[in-house]
Structure 1
Amino acid sequence: MADEQSFPALVAAQLLDEEGHFTDAFEEFIESASSVLVVDRLEMDEAFADPLVAAVVVAAVVDRLTDNYFAVALPGKNACTDAGSALLAEAGTLLGAQPFSDELQIIDNALAAPEEAAQRVRSRLRSPSARAGSTSPRATTCCPTPTPPPGRPRASPSP
């Protein structure tokens, strides 16, 4: 890779061996994947720069560009270099990504959990009461969206 400091270079260093094959650690981490989609940049107008909105955008990208044989790599908590990567890290958390390292989290599309998480996120976005507790990514970087206060109904996936 030309830019050794880039997120795709970091992903390649952690997931691929010197011959370009998946590492044993990655093979053990995922159920079944023959390809990896690396989501490394996100730019949103400030009015839409919300972790919930970012999660819905990422879910749509993943749905359109992948199938069950893909893993999706997103920045982890220690790879946040700007507001976009912070939104991606929070979106990954909301979509059920699992930490592979401090810098990298993975969504394994072979599992049902990512689709279920995407449905929950879409449902939360449609529910104004659930969004009322959302935080601005400018105020909190790489942190999950807070849960609603006790007694406030949570959005559930649509059938």
Structure 2
Amino acid sequence: MKIYNLTVKQFLPISIEEAWEFFSSPKNLKDITPAHMKFDIRYISGGEKMYPGQVITYKLQPVPGIPVSWTTEITHVNEPHYFVDEQRFGPYALWHHQHRFKAVEGGVEMEDEVNYAIPLGILGQLANWLFVGKKVKGIFDHRFSVLEARFGK
């Protein structure tokens, strides 16, 4: 199984506490996901406050007209420095997403590191090369723009 990596860093002129409050709330995911993906949270276990073991289920359309169910688990939380979500059920053979926050002069440096794998062996590798890799990068490019518009540069 081939594992792909995408790492994105972004400076935001907000405190680490503000960053944590925004990013640790699953309800804010919809605001930073491209609208055409029709992202919809269906269930959040244990309420709004993030904790290790929390399960979140979504419905989305990564490809227009093809709805996909996705279940993630928050596996690690070190407030306000990082948290990790991992896919439990969904379109990927592996999805491991680390969210890191570091206080820096004038704000916070946010880093997303995603390690993912596509099922179907060589066909999955071809799919990643043709469109999945571009789609994943496009989601994070969109997120970067939305966050810059919301919080500033």
Query: TM over 0.5: same fold?
Result: no
Relative to the length of structure 2, the TM-score reads: 0.26
Q: Which has the higher strand share?
A: 2
Q: Which has the higher contact order (CA 8 A, sep 6+)?
A: 2
